[in-house]
Structure 1
Amino acid sequence: MKPDVSTWIAQRGYRFAGMALYPFLRPALLYRVRKGKEDRARLNERLGHAAVARPDGPLVWIHAASVGETLAVAPLIEMVRGYGISILLTTGTVTSARLAAERFGDRVIHQYVPVDTTPSVRNFLDHWRPDLAVNVETEVWPVTIAELNRRRVAHIIVNGRISDRSFDRWMMRRGLARSLFSRFACILTQTDLDAERFSDLGALNVGVSGNIKVDREAPPADPREVGLLQESIGSRPVWAAISTFEGEEQAAAEVHLSLKARFNRPLTIIVPRHPNRAEAIALQLQEQGLKVARRSCGDPLEPDTDILLGDTMGDMGLYLRLTRIAFVGRSLTARGGQNPLEPAMLGAAVLTGRNVDNFREAYRQLRQRGAVRTVDSVEALRQSVELLMRDAKARETMVSAGFEAVREMRGALARTMKGLERYLAPLILEARFCAKSKSVKQPSHHSSDVLKRVPEAQASKIAR
């Protein structure tokens, strides 16, 4: 189906703008380096230039925008690797690149995703020649979609979701949406509502697989570090505000100041969504007379410490193992919500604000079980934290309900792999063929040694 005139103009305009701006990409990226948002040593990857050779055999390109998507897709990556298929993982942030290195090592090739301009994307695809492209959740890049389509590479979305705001924006450009989403070979969504929305936007092959974030293991933590912190905390009442955005740290501080009048030496753990804000947050808290221990600075957790500021990456499992009460941010003073499944997995009663559109289905299922309490103000948050600190039975009922809800939600990974089956099947066969070819060729590497061990006359026959 040919796009309408306005859609054609929009797509052409986007491409030409990218071509015109391409010469200025490096200065723009260098500016981002100064803000800590790019890796100077790997800027060429953002322009599509690789410093790593493509491996032989089939290769699946998986794109996970940031940390959350990288963690979510990790089990799927391991399953696909188990078939002997090479994985190229791209991400867009410095923190997700660091996480990929820690999580996968050299088992997976990591590259920064190329900027969505024709030269960058073509450089990238010319080098890597992926046999299948998989996007985690929903990042829609028009040039990348068009180039994969032109090369007849199947392009799939897994764990797909569309927020209310994104859906409304796409519906205002329905022709453009249809021209883009119709090019995906398959879209596997988290919920029925997401599937309906993708279909409304023009996707042709849509299925519901569930949220693969539920199927991954709970975030890990070093038992020794957990033990040391628990020993420092002792019997102090503890609660946590995690994945917080601007304004929510102040809300946590107000709750803490109120709790100090009611409990003996309460401890509040604050884990900002963006650790680079930690210095400003610490200063803000200290100005209110609160004693702050920053994890990144190795500050000791002392008996009179008010706030443990969790400003390190990859330690969510550590912080959540220290508490049985967790407020999940981006829901009170910011919009969209953050993932409530990790605290539920690790035995915390979950509190949240009302703005959880991005995780609506996860919260719905937790709420059905009674595993989450919704608050609409700082005072409501204080009341909920105080109730759960005082009432162990109410707290443990929520914790048990969270475990049960997570158990019922599992199975998305198996359904996702089932949805990918028809696209992976030929690659699995190719991987097996390549493995057999290598094993057959292996003796030839030692043919000269074999010739040395046989009589000269026989060796000449073999050589002939």
Structure 2
Amino acid sequence: MKDSGEFLIRSYVGATRVARPLVRGLVHWRRIKGKEHEERWRERLGEASLPTPAAPVVWVHAASVGETVAVMPLIYRIAATGVGVVLTTVTLASATLVAGRLPRGVCHQFVPLDIAPYVDRFLATWDPQLAIFVESEIWPVTIARLDARNVPLVVCNARMSPRSFAGWRRWPALSHAVFSRIRHCLAQSDADADRFRQLGAPRVSTIGNIKFDAPVPEASRTVAEALSASIDGRPVFLAASTHPGEEDIVLDAFTRALSRNADLLLILAPRHPARGPDVAGLASGHGLRTALRSIGALPERGTQVYVADTVGELGTLYRLARVAFIGGSLNPRIGGHNPIEPGGLGTAVVAGPNVGNWSEIYEALKAESALTEVRDATELFDAVDRLVNLDNTRQRQAEAARRVVARFSGALARTQAAIDPLIDPLIVSARLARRMPGPA
């Protein structure tokens, strides 16, 4: 199996070289559609848009906003040692999130596509001495090219869904060739760890989920104060990270809730901020007075729906809300989003039944009566009506959620301890490089 796996991965890497013209055309099409950065799209081809750090470099890769927020404390810790970091992400939203928030010695780039010439160009330019990928970012070409350069790869906060696991299992030789090249896999749960082991990862540890320890992204103090002042004590129902189809259910439930509490404000934060104008149009179509955050509007006294189509402000919104519905949970194809942030901030959490991406924490929340599960607009209305208007009920559920979240914390420290042996030699190299005299 080892020989056939090596043949397959070499063949796959070679095939991507042939596909390069087609992929470049795809990038151009995505740029036209607004899915790639208008000015920085060449980064997806492995071309650097920033000068590389002089110190030894660690490559940290996180796909989107949630993974980026989770790994930021680790990035800050590495940067504080004097070791350089290149952070790559996939989405435009994640790039917006980190803009102006990265410490000295950390550069952001969009990740190169998993095509051999682009990956090779990126690696030749940045010359990383260590790679840290977050969660489920498993790219065969990139992993093979890192291995060819003897760059150790750590997958931190590693997650493997049953669906992805089943897909990899269809190609056992290839999956073994890919996963056996991972130096250390730091899994979120025992179930995730077992899946990585079965796929061929040689060293796997169950560490826990670093998202329990990650700071929640919040708006600036000025913005937070302006939002709070404009809301002026009104009860807030937040629907966070919603997807198409869910907004209709939320708006239906909210319209019913208004008949019980005319002062209620709905804040709708779509998962993809670019959908903000469409979501606002949907709310207006329900006959609701709507304001849009991205154009600078604030929720005035007569505003009924406030569409928060921005990035990096969810923490502020959770603090303002009495109840938060977590999107992606009424759509079986999505699998739910992160309940840790509202749970840790004292917001009563409501979610649908489709939470496979976060099954462990959702099960823990349900076991402690720290979550209200809903399946449709009627059940969502009942939950919102009860949790908004019954203070004692809401507070009991919110406190239970805080206790559950606290119980799961500590994964970040364990992750740092696991990575330190790979970082320490780079710290020494960075210090030696700073002491070496420059050219005469």
TM-score normalized with structure 2 length: 0.94
State how 1:310-459 maps to structure 2 within 5 Å: 310-334=308-332, 335-435=334-434, 437-438=435-436, 441=437
Partner Cα distance (2:230, 2:98) in 1: 32
3-state SS, counterpart of residue 122 of structure 2: helix
219-228 or 124-133, which moves further after superposition? 219-228
In the alignment, what sits opposite 2:35? 37
32-41 or 237-246, which moves further after superposition? 32-41
Q: Is the 8 A contact 2:370 2:400 kept in 1?
A: yes
Partner Cα distance (2:278, 2:347) in 1: 28
In the alignment, what sits opposite 2:132? 134
Q: Is the 8 A contact 1:236 1:264 kept in 2?
A: no
Q: How many angstroms does 1:102 deviate by?
A: 2.5
3-state SS, counterpart of residue 19 of structure 1: helix
Q: How many angstroms does 1:146 deviate by?
A: 0.9
What letter corresponds to residue 359 of structure 1 in structure 2?
A: W
What letter corresponds to residue 252 of structure 1 in structure 2?
A: V
3-state SS, counterpart of residue 87 of structure 1: strand
214-223 or 381-390, which moves further after superposition? 214-223
1:270 to 264, 268, 271: 268
In the alignment, what sits opposite 2:99? 101
1:69 to 67, 73, 77: 67
Percent of pairs with identical residues: 40
Q: How many angstroms does 1:192 deviate by?
A: 1.0
What letter corresponds to residue 62 of structure 1 in structure 2?
A: V
What letter corresponds to residue 430 of structure 1 in structure 2?
A: S
Q: Deviations over 1:57-102 (max 9, x none)?
A: 3211111111111111000011111221111111112221222222
In the alignment, what sits opposite 1:240? 238
In the alignment, what sits opposite 1:256? 254
Q: Is the 8 A contact 2:79 2:103 kept in 1?
A: no
Structure 2 regions of 5+ residues with no counterpart? Answer: none
Q: Deviations over 1:22-43 (max 9, x none)?
A: 1243332121112111123222
26-35 or 127-136, which moves further after superposition? 26-35
Partner Cα distance (1:378, 1:174) in 2: 43
Q: Is the 8 A contact 1:226 1:322 kept in 2?
A: no
Q: Is the 8 A contact 2:57 2:130 kept in 1?
A: yes
What letter corresponds to residue 410 of structure 2 in structure 1?
A: G
What letter corresponds to residue 354 of structure 1 in structure 2?
A: P
Q: How many angstroms does 1:125 deviate by?
A: 1.1
Partner Cα distance (1:130, 1:92) in 2: 19
Q: How many angstroms does 1:13 deviate by?
A: 4.7
382-391 or 93-102, which moves further after superposition? 93-102
In the alignment, what sits opposite 1:295? 293
Partner Cα distance (1:26, 1:395) in 2: 52
Structure 1 regions of 5+ residues with no counterpart? Answer: 446-464
Q: Is the 8 A contact 1:246 1:333 kept in 2?
A: no
Partner Cα distance (2:365, 2:380) in 1: 18
81-90 or 152-161, which moves further after superposition? 81-90
1:85 to 67, 83, 86: 83
Q: How many angstroms does 1:245 deviate by?
A: 0.6
TM-score normalized with structure 1 length: 0.90
Q: Deviations over 1:93-116 (max 9, x none)?
A: 222122222220653111111111
Q: How many angstroms does 1:300 deviate by?
A: 3.9
189-198 or 318-327, which moves further after superposition? 318-327
Q: Is the 8 A contact 2:96 2:311 kept in 1?
A: no
Q: How many angstroms does 1:143 deviate by?
A: 1.1
Asked which structure has the greater CA Rg, the reply is 1
Partner Cα distance (2:412, 2:191) in 1: 19
Higher-helix-fraction structure: 1
3-state SS, counterpart of residue 139 of structure 1: coil
Partner Cα distance (2:220, 2:39) in 1: 31
Partner Cα distance (1:258, 1:365) in 2: 30
Change (3 A) 1:223 1:57: closer
166-175 or 220-229, which moves further after superposition? 220-229
Q: How many angstroms does 1:357 deviate by?
A: 0.9
Q: Is the 8 A contact 1:218 1:345 kept in 2?
A: no
322-331 or 333-342, which moves further after superposition? 333-342
Q: How many angstroms does 1:432 deviate by?
A: 2.8
Partner Cα distance (2:248, 2:347) in 1: 22
Q: How many angstroms does 1:8 deviate by?
A: 5.5
3-state SS, counterpart of residue 311 of structure 1: coil
Change (3 A) 1:336 1:271: same
Q: Is the 8 A contact 1:122 1:147 kept in 2?
A: yes
What letter corresponds to residue 327 of structure 2 in structure 1?
A: G
What letter corresponds to residue 2 of structure 1 in structure 2?
A: K
Q: Is the 8 A contact 1:242 1:273 kept in 2?
A: yes
Q: How many angstroms does 1:305 deviate by?
A: 1.7
Partner Cα distance (2:152, 2:197) in 1: 18
Q: Deviations over 1:287-340 (max 9, x none)?
A: 121111111122342323221111112121222122121010100134311011
